[in-house]
């Protein structure tokens, strides 16, 4: 008989109906013998990668995770096993889930907790009891025989779940007013300062591009600002987080076609990520001053809609030619960037946006694109993402991208000359609205903002991407020399 050289990890899920609790035990090939599987059970497990055993009221669901020959299970392998375990126990309607695993001491244990907590989440609007998903009210981990927990990881996951809920929500609820209300809840919960500039008052403040994008919508556009003072020195320059908040993007008069418009409630994913991060930052009481700016607008069509080739005047004073009304996110971000930089004089700026389909073409749904005017900041952002299992990839803003924005009639065009390099020309546009001396990074999350199907600890729909990167960046922030 040939023996497989592939190493495996097995998740053993135990369910006791009387206690409505489940035990997941993740083991490797060296401890498979403890399961006392028969030859037939081993064969079934190899064939289907899962096995259910019945012992009276107790049920065991065993899931087999294979790795390449001679390879040890990776963090990703363990996270996938934990996610499968939680889904299995959710399906068995367990109210308490306890996960036991022996893992390599070098593996980040918080990653397993992240996988468990983020899997135990489901957005739905089902009304029938039989159809409603079941989630556990308590999840705990025992790793290498010791109870493991992390307040920091739990706070990030709560923030990311908030982001998921907001991004999954439909636009009539997560409207500009609805997003402001969500920000108000965070402000009230953690005693943050909230201010908002709404509707026609945007014009009084010279925020004409935010107003233009949202002026045709039923709910007025607005700029919402949240201020968190966590540094020992209240006068310390803050970190500024800016999140694109286009709550539904029809494309404007350059209307999106069927097959593209249906998921455009996701287009406020940047503001959703920033709100989730602010929730976590305030919950953890991080030692930093942080301000969040949310330019919120619905890019609707109607008699008041802005038009292709309109000339707009930005808060900075630059005139902008509208190359395409479906390139609206950069307009609202540009005004917010300049306004926030002038008002708060930040130590660093990070903006997050579902900005371009071009970034998805470049990186797929697997990574976010990162653009910056500060190399040290790029490395810090990428590392912050790595710590939170979010992949960020540095992309360039070349002189040629900047040159494409030249315009005959205005100071700048909102779009490039061709369909190539669209993520970089969009970033080049944003860069024009930030001072060269201010460390700034733009993160295009158009790809990883949502999952087309469940994978590892992400369910289908919004992923909560960006929250972990932002919180880790703030927590690790040391500043930059200019």
Nearest residue to 332 via CA among 239, 261, 430: 430
Q: Token pair of 213, please?
A: 């994008």
Nearest residue to 432 via CA among 402, 398, 396, 400: 402
Residue 337 is inside which H or E element, if any? helix 329-344
Which residues have CB under 8 Å from 33's CB, separation 6+? Answer: none
Q: How far apart are CA 50 and CA 12, in angstroms?
A: 10
Q: How far apart are CA 66 and CA 4, in angstroms?
A: 11
Sheet containing strand 412-413, strands side by side: 311-313, 319-321, 412-413
Q: How far is CA 102 from CA 77, 105, 112, 430, in A?
A: 13, 9, 11, 47
Place of tokens 């019945």: 54
Q: How far apart are CA 91 and CA 51, in angstroms?
A: 15
Q: How far apart are CA 241 and CA 274, in angstroms?
A: 7
For 442, phi and psi rounded to 5 degrees? Answer: -110, 130
Q: Token pair of 243, please?
A: 């999140």
Question: Is 256 an annotated catalytic residue?
Answer: yes
Q: How far apart are CA 101 and CA 73, in angstroms?
A: 12
Place of tokens 């690790």: 476
Q: Which of 164, 215, 316, 330 is catalytic?
A: 330
Nearest residue to 439 via CA among 373, 379, 380: 373
Q: Which of 53, 93, 206, 256 is catalytic?
A: 256
For 329, phi and psi rounded to 5 degrees? Answer: -60, -40
Q: How far apart are CA 446 and CA 284, in angstroms?
A: 28
Q: How far apart are CA 162 and CA 219, in angstroms?
A: 22
Residue 85 is inside which H or E element, if any? helix 75-91
Contact 249, 326 (CB under 8 A): yes
Question: Is 146 an annotated catalytic residue?
Answer: no
Contact 320, 312 (CB under 8 A): yes
Q: How far is CA 470 from CA 111, 311, 434, in A?
A: 17, 34, 19
Q: What letter does residue 465 receive in the DSSP assignment?
A: T
- Cα-to-chain-centroid distance, residue 326: 22
Q: How far apart are CA 20 and CA 97, in angstroms?
A: 9
**Active site positions, annotated:** 256, 330
């Amino acid at each position: 008989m040939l023996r497989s050289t592939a190493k495996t990890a097995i998740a053993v899920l135990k369910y006791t109906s009387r206690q409505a609790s489940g035990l997941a035990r993740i083991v490797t090939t060296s401890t498979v013998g403890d399961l006392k599987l028969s030859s037939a059970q081993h064969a079934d497990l190899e064939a289907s990668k899962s096995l259910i055993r019945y012992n009276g009221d107790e049920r065991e669901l065993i899931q087999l995770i294979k790795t390449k020959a001679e390879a040890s299970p990776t963090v990703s392998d363990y996270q996938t096993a934990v996610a499968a375990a939680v889904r299995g126990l959710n399906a068995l309607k367990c109210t308490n889930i306890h996960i036991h695993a022996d893992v390599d001491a070098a593996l980040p244990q918080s990653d397993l907790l992240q996988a468990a907590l983020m899997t135990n989440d489901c957005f739905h609007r089902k009304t029938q009891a039989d159809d409603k998903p079941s989630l556990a009210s308590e999840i705990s981990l025992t790793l290498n025989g010791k109870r493991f927990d992390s307040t920091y990881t739990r706070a990030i996951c709560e923030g990311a779940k908030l982001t998921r809920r907001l991004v999954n929500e439909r636009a009539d609820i997560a409207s500009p007013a609805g997003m402001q209300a969500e920000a108000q809840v965070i402000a009230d919960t953690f005693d943050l300062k909230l201010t908002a500039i709404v509707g026609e008052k945007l014009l009084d403040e010279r925020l004409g591009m935010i107003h233009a994008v949202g002026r045709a919508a039923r709910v007025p556009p607005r700029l919402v600002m949240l201020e968190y003072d966590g540094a020992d020195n209240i006068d310390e320059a803050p970190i500024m987080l800016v999140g694109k908040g286009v709550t539904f993007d029809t494309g404007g008069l350059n209307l999106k076609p069927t097959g593209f418009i249906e998921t455009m409630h996701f287009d406020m994913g940047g503001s959703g990520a920033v709100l989730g991060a602010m929730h976590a930052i305030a919950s953890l009481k991080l030692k930093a001053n942080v301000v969040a700016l949310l330019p919120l607008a619905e890019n609707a069509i109607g008699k008041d809609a802005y038009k292709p080739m309109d000339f707009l005047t930005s808060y900075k004073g630059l005139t902008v030619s509208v190359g395409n009304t479906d390139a609206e996110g950069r307009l609202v971000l540009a005004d917010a960037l300049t306004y926030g930089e002038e008002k708060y004089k930040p130590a660093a700026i990070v903006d997050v946006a579902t900005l371009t389909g071009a970034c998805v073409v470049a990186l797929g749904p697997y990574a976010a694109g990162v653009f910056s005017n500060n190399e040290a900041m790029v490395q810090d952002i990428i590392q912050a993402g790595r710590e939170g299992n979010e992949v960020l990839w540095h992309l360039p803003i070349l002189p040629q991208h900047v040159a494409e924005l030249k315009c005959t009639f205005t100071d700048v065009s909102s779009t490039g000359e061709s369909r190539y390099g669209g993520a970089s020309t969009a970033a080049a546009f944003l860069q024009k609205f930030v001072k060269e001396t201010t460390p700034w990074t733009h993160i295009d999350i158009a790809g990883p903002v949502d999952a087309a199907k469940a994978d590892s600890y992400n369910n289908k729909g919004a992923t909560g991407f960006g929250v972990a990167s932002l919180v880790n960046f703030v927590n690790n922030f040391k500043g930059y020399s200019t």
